[in-house]
Amino acid sequence: MKIAIIGAGKAGLCAGKHCLKENISFDIFEQTGNLGGTWFYTDLVGHDENGAPIHTSMYKGLRTNLPKELMTFEDFPYPKQIRSYLLQEEVLDYVRNYSKKFHINPHIKYFKRVIWIERQNFLWSVHYEDVKNKQKEMEHYDAVIICNGHYSDPFIPDIPGIESFSGKVKHSHDYRTPEPYANKKVLILGSGPSGLEISQQISNVATKVFISHRSKDALPVSDALYQKCLVKEFVENRAIFEDGTSEEIDDVVFCTGYNYNFPFLSKRCGVKITNNYVHPLYKQIISIENPTLAFIGIPFKACPCPLFDIQVRFVLASLTGHFKLPKKDVMLKELVEEEKRKPGPPSSQYHQLGGAQGSYFDNLAETAKIRKIPPVIQKLYLRVISNRNLNDCFKIIDDHNWVQIYCSGTGCK
Ligand code: FAD
């Protein structure tokens, strides 16, 4: 068996590592010259020197929104002495070391952008382009694991008047540093981890920052940072809010999330995106129409490393025959029942795990009879999402227990 893995971010590297462990032959296609996916920082926005779209959404000074204890692959811990909430470069180092330790690098085809995947004669044809010399090639594989990342294609809500707004408008995908916002009045839309951190960064240099969000919780504010409700419309350079108030704004940053996007999948692959919901997939991983096609990392509000690890092991267990997938109609029936359990028509919210992450992990392990993710991951995750403080430090004691530990700011004891 030979597998094509699309993307050399954490998910693709994790897939490569498990293929090596199972003695499965594979190639990892990576469109850039770097591994680490979104953890690789570049000043560039738009397109790179080869004309390829910039994939990463990383900005300078990013602090992780999860502690390192939840951002670890099971068999590859971070150095013990460092703080729990890390900087971008510390995570990138970790990913590079992971690739080195498990000898994944020789399997990565750099600067190869996958442009088309189709199913032909019981095989997958993977068409790819060398982004430097634009030469196109094709190879056949028995299975495809898609690890192309889901934070690259910006979602911008349609707000009346935005097209004639006179200031600069960008999405957080293209935000790199706060300096361009010095002495300006800036509106940030969205209060997810990026919205919060970017508004804090910009408030250090701007005259005023307004953070507009739907959350009922009060957010941390400072002298230059003000909370607003949702924007109803823009009129020239004014933002009109749903409560009737308005503010004059110089620039706008949308921190409004991303779309799932698989531009290289032919229709005949049998996977659709409707209302940002990817379907029909078994357990949010395996294509029900073509079970040798799999997607890693679609669920969000989760701990990516443990998620990738168990999803990859689930896929490989199925591909190697360690467990047999149910028949197509049984998988479809389970999916329809799952869809019905969630309110409203299926949307990207279907892919949100949050508190349900632990039972999702357990269900995958029980279904495929594979090793479980230790319960301590979900226990600590619930603590972190209910009370996030980037100065907290944690230590995992065993599969069930964690403790909070003293942190001096530079290191933990
Ligand atoms: P990516 O890292 O996006 O990697 C995908 C790879 O696929 C890229 O290298 C890309 O170039 C390649 N690729 C895409 N399309 C093609 C193609 N057609 N052909 C070839 N190659 C292709 N997670 C945390 O756990 N903690 C955090 O604090 C955290 N903070 C984040 C902050 C930001 C700003 C963002 C955007 C994400 C953050 N995340 C965080 C989530 C992060 O995305 C995941 O942790 C994880 O790194 C995703 O890995 P991935 O491999 O799925 O995708």
Is 409 a residue whose pLDDT tops 60? no
Q: Are residues 276 and 208 in the same domain?
A: no
Q: Are residues 237 and 328 in the same domain?
A: no
Q: What is the pLDDT of residue 345?
A: 79
Separation CA 149–CA 283 (nearest Å): 18
Cα angle 26, 29, 34 (rounded to 5 degrees) comes to 120
Q: Are residues 87 and 212 in the same domain?
A: no
Cα angle 29, 31, 193 (rounded to 5 degrees) comes to 105
Burial of 409 per CB tally in 10 Å (0-12, 13-18, 19+): exposed
Mutate to test the pocket of ligand 1, among 90, 94, 148 (most ligand atoms within 8 A of CB): 148
Nearest CA to ligand 1 atom 31: 64
Q: Are residues 66 and 36 in the same domain?
A: yes
Taking residues 60-75, report their average pLDDT.
Answer: 95
pLDDT digits (tens, 9 = 90+) for 305-336: 999 999 999 999 999 999 999 999 999 999 99
Is 83 a residue whose pLDDT tops 60? yes
**What are the φ and ψ backbone dihedral angles of 171, each rounded to 5 degrees?**
-100, 155
Q: Are residues 264 and 238 in the same domain?
A: no
Nearest CA to ligand 1 atom 7: 7
**What are the φ and ψ backbone dihedral angles of 31, each rounded to 5 degrees?**
-75, -25
Q: Are residues 98 and 242 in the same domain?
A: no
- 55 Cα nearest atom in ligand 1: 11
CA of 234 relative to ligand 1 center, distance in Å: 32
Question: 141-168: buried (b, 16+ CB within 10 Å) or exposed (e) per residue?
Answer: bebbbbbbbbbbbbebeebeebeebebe
Is 56 a residue whose pLDDT tops 70? yes
Q: What is the pLDDT of residue 411?
A: 56
Q: Are residues 224 and 282 in the same domain?
A: no
Is 149 a residue whose pLDDT tops 70? yes
CA of 56 relative to ligand 1 center, distance in Å: 7
Q: What is the pLDDT of residue 407?
A: 73
CA of 66 relative to ligand 1 center, distance in Å: 15
For the beta carbon of residue 387, count every other beta carbon within 10 angstroms: 8
Out of 216, 236, 254, pick the residue that ends a domain. Answer: 254
pLDDT band at 82 (very low <50, low <70, confident <90, very high): confident
Mutate to test the pocket of ligand 1, among 32, 38, 64, 388 (most ligand atoms within 8 A of CB): 38
Separation CA 278–CA 296 (nearest Å): 12
Supply the CATH number for residue 144's domain.
Answer: 3.50.50.60
Nearest CA to ligand 1 atom 2: 37
Give me the domain span that covers residue 170: 162-254
Nearest CA to ligand 1 atom 45: 304
Q: Are residues 128 and 35 in the same domain?
A: yes
> What's the total number of domains in the chain?
2
Taking residues 113-142, report their average pLDDT.
Answer: 96
Nearest CA to ligand 1 atom 9: 37
Q: Who lines ligand 1 at CB under 6 A? A: 6-12, 29-32, 37-39, 55, 57-58, 62, 64-66, 71, 113-114, 147-149, 151, 194, 264, 297, 304
Q: Are residues 28 and 110 in the same domain?
A: yes
CA of 55 relative to ligand 1 center, distance in Å: 8
Is 223 a residue whose pLDDT tops 80? no
Q: What is the pLDDT of residue 341?
A: 86
Q: Are residues 131 and 195 in the same domain?
A: no
